[in-house]
Every structure is written in structure tokens, then in C-alpha cells.
Amino acid sequence: MSDATATSKTTAPKTTAPKTTRQRAKGRPGMNKHGMRINPGTTRRVIGYMMHYRWRLALVALCIIVSAAAQAGASLFLQRLIDDYILPMIGAADPNWAPLLRALTLMAALYLSGIVCTYVYSRLLITVEQGTLKTIRDDMFGHMQKLPLRYFDSTPHGDIMSRYTNDADTLRQAISQSLPQMFNSLISSLAALIAMMVLSLPLTGIVVVFSVALFAFVRVLTTRSGRFFGEQQHELADVNAFVEESISGQKVIKVFTHEAATQKDFDKRNASLYEATRNANYYGNILMPIVNNMGYLLYVLLAVVGAALAIGGAGNVSLTGAGAYTTGTIVSFLTLSRSFVNPLGEVSQQMTSVLMALAGASRIFELLDEKPEVNDGRVTIVNASVLDDGTIREADHRTDQWAWKVPAGVRVRADIARMSPVGAGDGGTGAGDGGKIVDTANADRTQSAPAAKGTVVVTPAATLVRQRGDIRLNHVNFSYEPGHEVLHDITLFAKPGQKVALVGATGAGKTTITNLINRFYDIDDGEILYDGINVKDMDKTDLRRSLGIVLQDVNLFTGTVMDNIRYGNLEASDEDCIRAAKLANADGFIRMLPHGYRTRISGSGDGLSQGQRQLISIARAAVADPPAMILDEATSSIDTRTEEIVQSGMDALMEGRTVFVIAHRLSTVRNADVIMVMDHGRIIERGNHDELIAQRGQYYQLYTGAFELE
Amino acid sequence: MVRHSDDTQRTAPDGGPNPADPADPAAATPATPAAATPATAATTKKSYKVNTPLGDDGEPLDAEALQEYTRDQGHKGDYRLIGRSMREYRKHAILAPAYVVGEAIVEILIPTFMAYLLDQGITAGNMARVWQWGAVLVACAIVSLVCGFASGREAAIAAAGFSKNLRHDLFEKAQGFSFTNIDHFSTGSLITRLTTDVTNVQMAFQMTIRTVFRAPVLAVCAWIFAFRISHSISVVFLAVIPVLLVALIVIAGSVHPIFVRVFHLYDVLNNNVEENLAGIRVVKSFDREEHEDSKFMRISQRIYDGFCKAESRLALNPPAMLLCEYTLMIAIAWMGAKQIVASGNDAALGLTTGDLTSLVAYAMELLMSLMMISMVYVMVIISRASVARICAVLREEPTMTVPADAATDVKDGSVEFSHVTFRYEETSEEPVLDDVSLSVPSGSTLGIVGGTGSAKSSLVQLIPRLYDVSSGFVRVGGHDVRDYDLDALRNNVGMVLQKNTLFSGTIAENLRWGNPNATDEEVRHAAELAQADEFVQGFPDKYNTMIEQGGTNVSGGQRQRLCIARVLLKKPKVLILDDSTSAVDTKTDAKIREAFAHEIPGTTTIIIAQRISSVQDADQIIVMDRGRIVARGTHDELLRSCEDYRQIWQSQTKSMAQPQAAGATAADATTTEGGADHE
């Protein structure tokens, strides 16, 4: 299944490579029929989750059996009550009530145990049910965090959200009510079946054949019903997604007085949901009447056959031996057949919620089956200290210096990386201790020449490479969708401490490059090196932690302003956060908020202006204090004077660190060390401001484009 | 004048007391961050919404959350209110139980016929009787089956239809909400109310209509049969019922508030997931997956705890039922035995053993019905919290009202602000806009510049009446915006918001938001004006290219241009661009403005911009700072009169001083375009 899902997801990449076909069969892109039925194996997986509670479940089963026995005892008791206790007393002048009282006390005890067991299993089931639900929810969220960006870019958010609420909720009912009831009923049926076999095997044969036929029929219905339940959960998610999108975009809807049209769109989806719900419930509702009434047919059938046999004096075979059919046998058998069929009717009634739960679970497992981002990079980040002689040493405490810990067998560009073998310097002997410290890098190259193939060494043993923020792209090609290359042969390098600007028309591929450096997406060809190490060999989380990123669309999280700044570095103290806010020039307005840094903001941050949100997000990145940073239109909504202040703060912060800047405002990029002018996925010019102006190329035109307005 | 933003620091708490010092941990106990009355705090913007009533781990609720709770506690008449959404499905909701009653009656008759079949047929060895009663039973089964099918169908239609109408009504209501209304809830909460809560109601509703008559009919019949056999024992039947009812009511009462809380946590969970999805790039780039995980798990745990608590109380329900059932059984056995012994098992004298068997059967029947009722009851209890939550939305009064005789004709594009003061929240002390007066003649262009947070966006959002002024008035076409029909007003005031939003759908569909009836040619023309046609043509599917939710698959600049094209299709009398070309390069920006000047010359244009070059040709430019207009005039006037304006201008152009020298000739050659739209 995952294959089919994967292909459906790949149709919708981020950025300028749009989908090739209009897939709106159900008003929703990226969704195929797949999400609309109950996938095989779902039951097994749900049970797998419940098996965490196998001992509890065993106890639950035991308790259900006891309470079923108590219930069965109730009906059996009646017969013995009459035969053994009441009839002997009839006519007695002085009836002895003691035996009856004793029997009743005994029954009361049995009943009491039934009641206690019922309570115990109901209580136990809560833990099983809610625990299972919680595990599934938590697994789902945990797994979701590991999914590649592509998934988030191509799945409607409301659809994903629906899995946490609507789909997970379906399991609640099924586990807490339907399963125990079905188990209870099945036990009763089984007991009745055995009792029937004691009475007559041939007649039991008829019952079994009839039941099998009935269940074949029921299965057809449940399959159909299951499909509709799958559809229902799918449509529910569609409505969920639509509501989510319209409420988030409410301002635009109002500005365009699009309320009526939106309502119409909603009603269309709502109507599909109605249809699926109606069909699903219809098939669910008729199951019990079918099973029950077929039970009556069976009764009549058995009566006719039984009567014929009894009257005809045919021989009977039962578990207890052979004999003749007596009318008593037939009467008892017929009564038992009711005890057999009735619980089955109850089972079929519970099928509705079970099917719905399976439909919901199917969608949950679909999310869980999405392939997570592969993170097999073995190069990790460690605290390090650099000795005077340049030897790098791993530190066990925070040193504010970092090193890549490269295991043996990784290719490293020796001309870029500053390496020390792990353990060098441990004895305090310094660089000479077998440490080959390569520091031949940065023999001045000009950016305009593509980097020559450098010296590549394969690390013989674990090696430390100092983290400096040297980032290089060599001949990188990339496409979101196969066949639609959006970056062509990109070669660029940012030396530690350099500010590299990416300039170009919208859609030129600037943001795409940043998506590649932090491996939100993986490149098709070429290589990206960070400090001489291929980013593919790096642990993704460590790589990302080494790259600060500030995006144009700021996403804040519900919590205080302080929490939001601290998001960049959870260990940061309040003072650190405030310092970062000052640096980002956010301190001023934050102090104006009703509760200053303790002001709670909602995720959409509605109370803040776009510019203020950007300032907070810059503070958030500043507190993370990464060796390299990507600013993607990070200051676009900030007025130019504030930007200047922010810029100088940032420059101070990024002193000696590598920065990628994407901006339309050329004033923002003007003081960059290198400016890359991009067009249609290619770098068409590179150099610093003065060089580019002198070139009189695209940059010059852009620049004077601004200038012409004077 | 525009001040440096760091000025704000200096002048911060003029009137209000100093906000809690963030550096001092004691100043803000984490549990009550927003508990202080808003009035005491200097509010520069809309109140800061508290989404979760419980702190990170703390329990106390602040005022707003408490209000939310009382709102969701439910009111009298909730059921009548949602009942109004039944509409065309009322018929089905009545038919379903009617069929159920038919089914139930047949079901009561069947055991009697079965008994006849046994007694007259099999025990008597009479094959003809077996056939006869067999045929009757088959007929009964068919009738019951038909009724079962019909009731199943009607119930399905009624429940699905009811929930459809409920969702429709909720969505319609939410569409009419002002932003203040939406803030009362939250996006996540509105979504759960529209889906999860409605589903809860739907399931409870279906269960109810399928059992509301069936169970009582069965129970009453069972009791009547029992009564006919033994008056005294049938009275014992009745004795159980009040006991059971009391138990059920007590359980329900204690469980309801818990469910209200748990469902509220669902909202929190939903908001959390939504935020995580929206900010997934941030999560991943800061490597905060684990942090997010633990945040989620905390909420998840609280949902677990809440449900466990509620359900462990509901778990008292089945044993309570059984207790009654078994007590009844033993009572029947004891009383029955006494009566049989007394009568000597003679039907003429009183109770017989056969009667006792029947009594037990009826007792079982009665208790089965009660069991059914109690199951439905549990669902109704759970759904009661959902009903209350749905009703809270349906009851919410729109804060924005339109007069009955609203004007529908917007005469021209003149815009006038007169002593406008605006607060997002009435209780805020410091207004966002403070006594702003401004007049923009129809067809003229207004430029707005100002620092981050100077309330530029707040100002223009008053024009299409996204918010209402606190005092003063805003006039469009000579009338107060509050006198217009909202649709009429907004159809004539086009606005490109700072936070651009595109919707899932094709580019053409998105653009047609401006005008649903626009021809392909018109759509293309608008895109051309917005300088969007070129890149759209570059897509394989051109105008049929699918846009992902939020427009994530086009770049920021492309999105902005599509949004401009969308508003152009509307042909508004007033056009507002709220920093909507910030991601567009200057040249394209200039082309767009030029297109405006040529193509829609009579339109009043209001442009908020960071780049002075974007507004310098405007007839009038205002400079805003912290909610006030600090300077106004034309570009040239402001350069002369406003120090700050000049400084911004210089800071934006000084970088060009060098190239000016370097590329003087080229620059001269390209100045023609820019000058054209100065008139």
C-alpha cells in the first residue's frame, strides 16, 4: 500500500513545479481512492496495539467469562429452582424454605461475582482503550514529526488533523463498548452451540450450515458497509480540511465577500459526507434485523425438520451418544437455537462501530506507514575545544565551539576540513600526536571559478572536523518532480564568516537552494558540502541544528513570547532570550505588550503585525546561535529603518559566521561578500556588489531598476 | 514622524503601569500569565488570546478560559436549538421510530407464536400445526425484516441528514462571524465543533431514534404481560426502575463536566497539531521534533486522564444494571416460590411454575430494554457536552451588525477617516489607532509608510469593515461604512492583505474569487496587469495549475502577484494594497503600479509600503507612528518637511549613490518609465 500512497504524494511538491494534472475528483488533490477503504491488516494492527495490555486483556476476558457465566447461571437456575426446590415443597404441610434460601444465597453470590467482574472488566478496559488510543495518538504524532517535508507540502493540514480527532475517536467506542460486547456474545453463542451438540449433532449441523451461509451474506454487506465507512472518514477529513482552510483564510473570504461561494463549496463536501454517512449507517443498521430474522427462519426450519424427525421416529446422534428424537429434545434444541442466534444479532449490531473504527484506524495507519525521512548520516555534532595549536578535542561540556565527529570511512574534502583524529590531544600532546591536521583550505579562490575537485580523503578512523560554517554546492541539480528540473548545475561556496546573497526574480530557485542545504529535500546530482563533509553523511538533526533559518512566513507557537524566542534554544535563560530580542530589535515592542515577555500569543499570532512576528522569529534564530544561518526574506515586512537596526545587530551576531540571505530589497543584500544572481534555476552572475555593478549584467539592471524610480 | 523603533522602548508605558518585567521571574508566575485584568495593562494591539486554560502544567483558569467553560457548559434549550437543524429530515426522524415500533410489536408476538409451535406442534406431535405456526413465524419474520430495513434506512437518513444540516448551520454561522467572534473560539476549536462534536451528536441521535420507542415499548409490553400474571411481582419490576434512574442520573451529572473539559482538550490538541503542521519548517530546522512530541504528549496525557476519569464513572453503569437485574431475579424466585407453594401449583388458585418461567422471561425482556436505554443514555451523556459546544457556536452573537435599511450603493471611491480611535479589545487602555483623521478623494492615491507596528494595517482594515472603529467614523463614498450592506461595501473595496492567502484549487479558480463570472480572457488580463501572466504561462498547466493549501507551491512574490490579480478582477472602487509587493522586485513593482495608473485610473488606491519608491508618486502620503499620523503631504513636501521621511528615503537610496555614478548613463536611460505615472 505504501507504494501507491507514495506515488500519490509525489504529485505535489513545493514551489514552482505544480501538479501536472487536475486531481480534484473529490475536491481534494493528492488523494486517491486508496484512502477510502479499510486496508487489509488493519484489525491485526489494532489488536497489536492492544496487546501492550495483554495481561489486562486476559483478565478482562476472564472477567467477561465469569460475568457471562453468571448470566447463564441466571437462566439455568430457573429450571433447577422449579424442579429441585419449588415442586418438592408443593403440597407439603410445612414447607421447608431453608434449601431454597440456601440456593438463593448461592445464586446471589454467583450474581455478585458477576457484578464485580463486570465492574472490574469495565474499569480495566478503560485503561486498555484509552491507553491504546493514547499510544496510537502519540505514535502518530511522533511519526509525523519524522516525515519528510514533501508530505506536509502535499497533504491538506485539516486532513491530517482529522486523523487525530475524528479517526482516533472511532476507536474509542469500538474498544470500550463493541469489543467486550462482541466477546460476551460470542461466548454465549459458543456455550449454546456446545449445548446444542449435546442434544443433537445432525440438527447442530443444520444450524452450522445455516450460520455459515448467513455469515457469508453478512460479510458481503459488511464489506460494502466498510467501504462506505472508509468513505465517510475520508469525507469527514475533507470537510475538516476545508473548514481549517476557510477559517484560516477568513480574512480573504471576507475581503472578497466570498462567503456565499465558500458556503456552496462547503455544502458540496458536506453533501458527499452525508451520502457516505447515510450509506454506511444504512448498511450498518440493517445487519441486526437480517441476522435476527434469519434466526426466526432457522427456528422454523429446525422446528419443521425436528418435528418431522421426531414424528418419523428417526435416530439421533449427539455428543452423549445415539438415541431417538424425543419431542423434549426438539423443544430444548429450539430454545437453545435462540440462545445461539440472539447473541449473533448483537454482534452484528456492534459491527457498525467496529467497521467505523477500522475505517478510522486505516487512515491512522496510512499516516503511520508514510515513509519517514531517512536519517542515516553518521556524522554528528559534538562540543569541542580547539587547542592553541589547532588540535580539536571533544569536550563533555558546552564550549560554544563545535566539531563534526566523523566516523571512519567517510569521504572528507581535506582541503576544506580542519581535522583532528578523535583522541588527539587527549594526552595533552597536541597536534603531533598522530594528528594530521589539514589546513590547506582557503587558498584564496574567487567565487567566480567553480571549485576545483579538492583533495578527498577517506577518514581512516574517527575524526573531528571543526565546525566553521563552510558551505559549498558543487554542480547541484534538483527537481521536485522527476523530469522537472528546477535547479541546474548550481555551484557556489560560502566560506566561514561570509555573507552570501541570493538574488533573482521570484521563482528563480533561491528558496529551493536553502531547502537543499538543510536537506528538507535531497538533491538529484552533485554534492553539498558542509565543512568539507557531504551533508548526506550528516545526521540530519545535527545538520539542521547547525543552520539557523528565518523564513518570510513566520510561524509562532501558542505560548508566551518568551517561549517562542526560547524555541531556538531550549536551554537559553531568560536573559539570553532578552538579549536576542534586543539584537533583533524586538525588545522594544515586546515590552509594550500587555504582559511583556510573558504575554501569551496564539499560534497564528493574530495580535502581532507581520513585521513584529518577523522580529520575534529573528530573535528566535539568534538565540539558537548557529554557525550558519539562512535568512529567507526574513525582513520583508519590516520597515527599512528597523531593518537597518536589525541588520547591524545581526551582523554583530553573525560575525565570523556564514549567512545566506535571500531578499528582494537590494539594500538588504548590498553588503554581502558574494551575491549570486539567479534566473530560472541557474546562477547567472556572481561577485560582490561592486563587481556586479561593473559587470553591467542582470544585477546591474535590477539595481538600476530600483534606481530608475528616483 | 516615523521614529526609530527603539523609541518605543523609551516611551513605552506612558499611561499604564509597567508591564511585568520579563527579566524578573517573580514578576510573572507561570500559572497566571494572562490572569491580570487586561485593563491594567498597556495594550498596543489586540488582546493576546489565551488558548489553553491550563498553564503548561498548572491548573488555574484565567478569566477568559472560565468564560469559555461556562459557555460550553450547556444551557436550557440546547436540544431545541439543535433540533431546528432537523428541517427536511424531521419526517425521517419520525418514520424511523415508527417502523421500529412495528418491528418491536412483531418481536413481542413472535415468542408467543413460538410457544404455540412448541406446544401445539412439536409436543403434540402435530405436523400440520408445525407447518401452520411455522408459516406464521416466517410471515412475522418478513414483516419484522421489512420494518427493520425501513427503520434502518430512515434512521440512517435522519441521522446523516441531521448532522449535515448541523454542519451547514455551524459553517454558515461561522462565516458570519467577525474576527472578534472567531477569536472567542479558535480555529482548532471551530473545526472540532464542526466535525467531531457533530459526529458525536449524530451517533447519539441515531441510537436514540432507534431505541427511543423500541425499548420503552418492549419494556411496557413486558411489564403488562407480567402484570397479567402476577400483580404483586410486577410491582417489584417497577421498584427497580426508580433505583436505576437515580443511579443513571447521578452518574450522568458527575460525568458531564468532565466531558466538557475533555472535549476542550481536544480543541487544544487540534490547535497544537495545526500549529505544528503550519510551522513544520521551523520545527525541523530547529530540530524541535522531540520538544513538539513532549508538548503533544502532555496534552495527549491529559486527554487520557480526563477520559479515564469520565469513563471510570460510566463504568458504574453496567454493574448497576446487573445489580437490578439480579435483585429482580432473586425477588421473583423468592416471591414466586412462595406463591406457587401457596397455590399448590394450581392455575386456578394462583401462580404456577409455567407462570414463573414466563415472569422470568418478561423480567429479562424488561431489563434488556432498560440496558438498551442505559447504553443510549451513555451516548447521550457524552454527546451532551458536544451539543453544548455546538450550541455555543450557534448562540454566538455576531459582533458586527448591519442596519436593516443598509445602503447597497457605493457612490464613489472617496475614503474619509474622522477622529478614528480603534482598539482590538474594548478593554484595552491604549488604542491601536488614536484620533486619526484623513481624507482620500475618489480616484486619488494614498501612500502609507511607517515603522513596524505603527498600525498601518489596522488603519486600512477599517475601510472594508473587517473591524469596527471604537469611536469616530470611517466613510466610504460619503457614507459611514457601518451603514452599508457588508457585501456591497466589500465588493467595492478591494484589498490585498499583507498575509496573502491562496486556497487549494487552480490558479484560475483562485483568481475568479475576484469575479466568478470573469472570462478566461479577463482572468488573463488581470494577471497581465499584476505581472503574473508570464510566470503562470511558464507552468505546464498554466491557469489550471493546482495551488496547494496556503499557496505553498508558488514563491512569495508569485503569490503576491496572484493576489493582486485576484483583486483586480473585482474592479473595486477602492483598492488597498497592504505591503503586497514586498516580495516583488522593484521593477515589477513599478510595472504593477503603472498598470494601475493606466488601467484603473478612477480607482482610489491606498498603498502601504516599506519602500518609499512604491508610494512616492502618490497624491498624498501619510507617515504613521504608533497609531497616529505624524506627517502628511506629497513626496516632495515630506522630503522637505519631515525629517524622518527624508531619512528613510535617504537610507533607501543612499546605496544607489555609488551606482549612480557608476552607471549614470544607464540610469538616465531608464528613468522614463518611472516618471510616467506621476500625474
Lowest mean pLDDT among A44-58, A213-227, B63-77, B513-527: B63-77
- pLDDT tier at B373, thresholds 50, 70, 90: confident
The nearest CA of chain A is from the CA of B187 a distance in Å of 6
Bridge-based pairing of strands A392-394 and A411-413 is unpaired
The nearest CA of chain B is from the CA of A593 a distance in Å of 6
Mean pLDDT score of chain B: 78
Bridge-based pairing of strands A321-324 and A411-413 is unpaired
Compute φ and ψ for A596, nearest 5 degrees: 55, -130
Compute φ and ψ for A475, nearest 5 degrees: 45, 55
Instruction: Report yes or no on A502 lying in a domain.
Output: no
The predicted structure's pLDDT at residue A276: 92
Q: Which of A308, A339, A369 corresponds to the end of one domain?
A: A369
Q: A705 and B33 in contact by Cβ < 8 A?
A: no
**H and E: helices and strands count for chain A:** 23, 21
Instruction: Select from B12, B140, B279 the Cβ nearest to the Cβ of A591.
Output: B12
Mean pLDDT of A480-486: 79
The predicted structure's pLDDT at residue A506: 66
Judge whether residue A94 has pLDDT over 70. Answer: yes
Give the residue from A162, A296, A311, A648 with the most B CB atoms within 10 Å of its CB, the best one to mutate: A296
Highest average pLDDT, of A209-213, A250-254, A450-454, B344-348, comes from A209-213
Mean pLDDT of B637-642: 85
Closest to B61 (Cα-Cα) out of B25, B32, B20: B32
Instruction: Report yes or no on A499 lying in a domain.
Output: no
Judge whether residue B167 has pLDDT over 60. Answer: yes
Lowest mean pLDDT among A40-44, A91-95, A264-268, B595-599: A91-95
Q: A169 and B199 in contact by Cβ < 8 A?
A: yes
Bridge-based pairing of strands A499-504 and A674-679 is parallel
The CA distance from A561 to A549, in Å, is 18
Domains along chain B? 53-73+215-397 (1.20.1560.10), 415-676 (3.40.50.300)
B402 versus B4: the higher-pLDDT residue is: B402
Here the CATH number for the domain that contains residue A320 is 1.20.1560.10
- pLDDT tier at A375, thresholds 50, 70, 90: confident
Lowest mean pLDDT among A505-519, B188-202, B609-623: A505-519
The CA distance from B112 to A101, in Å, is 32
Instruction: Report yes or no on A159 lying in a domain.
Output: yes
Q: Which of A343, A369, A395 corresponds to the end of one domain?
A: A369
Beta-bridge partner residues of A376: none
Cα distance between the two ends of chain A: 61
Q: Cβ neighbours of residue A127 under 8 Å, at least 6 residues apart?
A: A53, A56, B308
B425 versus B642: the higher-pLDDT residue is: B642
A652 versus B105: the higher-pLDDT residue is: B105
Mean pLDDT of A74-90: 75
Asked whether B366 and B146 are in contact (CB, 8 A), the reply is: no
Instruction: Select from A67, A278, A708 the Cβ nearest to the Cβ of B160.
Output: A278
Judge whether residue B154 has pLDDT over 50. Answer: yes
Q: B579 and A610 in contact by Cβ < 8 A?
A: yes
Cell of A189: 453463542
- pLDDT tier at A141, thresholds 50, 70, 90: very high
The CA distance from B352 to B346, in Å, is 6
Nearest CA in chain A to B516: A261
- pLDDT tier at A450, thresholds 50, 70, 90: very low
Mean pLDDT of A420-434: 46
* DSSP secondary structure letters along A233-258: HHHHHHHHHHHHHHHHTHHHHHHTT-
Judge whether residue A451 has pLDDT over 60. Answer: no
Assembly ipTM: 0.81
Per-residue 3-state assignment (H helix, E strand, C coil) for B57-89: CCCCCCHHHHHHHHHHCCCCCHHHHHHCCCHHH
A594 versus A500: the higher-pLDDT residue is: A500
Instruction: Report yes or no on A699 lying in a domain.
Output: yes
The predicted structure's pLDDT at residue A464: 81
Cell of A333: 434444541
Judge whether residue A175 has pLDDT over 70. Answer: yes
Query: Which residues, numbered 520 to 579 in chain B, qualify as contacts with chain A under a Cβ-Cβ cut-off of 8 Å?
Result: 535, 538-541, 544-550, 552-558, 561, 566-567, 570, 579
pLDDT digits (tens, 9 = 90+) for A609-628: 777 888 888 888 888 878 78
Q: Would you mind telling me the total number of residues written for chain B in this entry?
A: 679
- Rg of chain A over Cα atoms, rounded to whole angstroms, equals 36
b/e burial code for range A422-454 (CB count within 10 A of at least 16 → b): bebbeeeebbeeebebbeebeeeeebeeebeeb
Asked whether B394 and B80 are in contact (CB, 8 A), the reply is: no
The predicted structure's pLDDT at residue A426: 43
The predicted structure's pLDDT at residue B427: 65
Strand runs labelled E in B179-301: none
User: Which residues from B are below 8 Å from A126, CB to CB?
Assistant: 307-308, 311-312, 315
Q: B648 and A641 in contact by Cβ < 8 A?
A: yes
User: Which residues from A are below 8 Å from B51, CB to CB?
Assistant: 558, 600, 602-603
Mean pLDDT of A164-180: 86
Residue type, B540: P
Query: pLDDT exceeding 70 applies to what percent of chain A?
Result: 86
List helix spans (H) across B396-506.
456-461, 486-492
Q: B286 and A545 in contact by Cβ < 8 A?
A: yes
Lowest mean pLDDT among B37-46, B263-272, B374-383: B37-46
User: Which residues from B are below 8 Å from A152, CB to CB?
Assistant: 277, 280
The nearest CA of chain A is from the CA of B353 a distance in Å of 7
A545 versus A433: the higher-pLDDT residue is: A545
The CA distance from A384 to A392, in Å, is 7
The predicted structure's pLDDT at residue A422: 66
Burial tier of B30 (Cβ tally within 10 Å: 0-12, 13-18, 19+): middle
Judge whether residue B674 has pLDDT over 60. Answer: no
Instruction: Report yes or no on A595 lying in a domain.
Output: yes
Lowest mean pLDDT among A239-253, A536-550, B658-672: B658-672
Instruction: Report which secondary-structure segment, H or E, holds B238.
Output: helix B231-278
- pLDDT tier at B301, thresholds 50, 70, 90: very high
The predicted structure's pLDDT at residue B33: 39
Could you tell me if B303 lies within 8 Å of chain A, comparing CB atoms?
yes
Instruction: Select from B168, B186, B466 the Cβ nearest to the Cβ of A254.
Output: B466
Q: B610 and A639 in contact by Cβ < 8 A?
A: yes
Question: What angle (nearest 5°) sits at the alpha carbon of residue A664, between those of residues B4 and A150?
Answer: 115
Asked whether A681 and A506 are in contact (CB, 8 A), the reply is: no
Here the CATH number for the domain that contains residue A561 is 3.40.50.300
Instruction: Report yes or no on A393 lying in a domain.
Output: no
Q: Cβ neighbours of residue B552 under 8 Å, at least 6 residues apart?
A: A14, A15, A153
Distance of alpha carbon A490 from its chain centroid, rounded?
34
- pLDDT tier at B281, thresholds 50, 70, 90: confident
The predicted structure's pLDDT at residue B276: 86
Judge whether residue B157 has pLDDT over 90. Answer: yes
The predicted structure's pLDDT at residue A274: 94
Q: Cβ neighbours of residue A444 under 8 Å, at least 6 residues apart?
A: none
Query: Domain range holding A548?
Result: 510-707
Judge whether residue A235 has pLDDT over 70. Answer: yes
Strand runs labelled E in B130-202: none
The predicted structure's pLDDT at residue A378: 82
Domain count, chain A: 2
- pLDDT tier at A87, thresholds 50, 70, 90: confident
Q: Cβ neighbours of residue A521 under 8 Å, at least 6 residues apart?
A: A14, A148, A149, A150, A478, A480, A512, A515
Give the residue from A599, A620, A662, A696 with the most B CB atoms within 10 Å of its CB, the best one to mutate: A599
Query: pLDDT exceeding 90 applies to what percent of chain B?
Result: 8
Burial tier of A130 (Cβ tally within 10 Å: 0-12, 13-18, 19+): buried
- pLDDT tier at B667, thresholds 50, 70, 90: very low
Instruction: State how far the alpha carbon of B516 is from the alpha carbons of A260, A594, B221, in Å.
Output: 12, 43, 61
Q: The pTM is what?
A: 0.79
Judge whether residue A534 has pLDDT over 70. Answer: yes
Asked whether B130 and A307 are in contact (CB, 8 A), the reply is: yes
Distance of alpha carbon B331 from its chain centroid, rounded?
53
Residue type, B501: T
pLDDT digits (tens, 9 = 90+) for B36-55: 333 333 333 333 333 334 43
Mean pLDDT of B563-577: 87
Mean pLDDT of B470-492: 86
Instruction: Report yes or no on A471 lying in a domain.
Output: no
The predicted structure's pLDDT at residue B65: 53
Highest average pLDDT, of A78-82, A217-221, A495-499, A706-710, comes from A217-221
Number of residue pairs across A and B with CB atoms under 8 Å? 688
Instruction: Report yes or no on A216 lying in a domain.
Output: yes
The predicted structure's pLDDT at residue A139: 92
List helix spans (H) across A249-326.
250-255, 259-312
The predicted structure's pLDDT at residue B664: 37
Q: Which of A369, A394, A428 corresponds to the end of one domain?
A: A369
Judge whether residue A273 has pLDDT over 90. Answer: yes
Could you tell me if B44 lies within 8 Å of chain A, comparing CB atoms?
yes
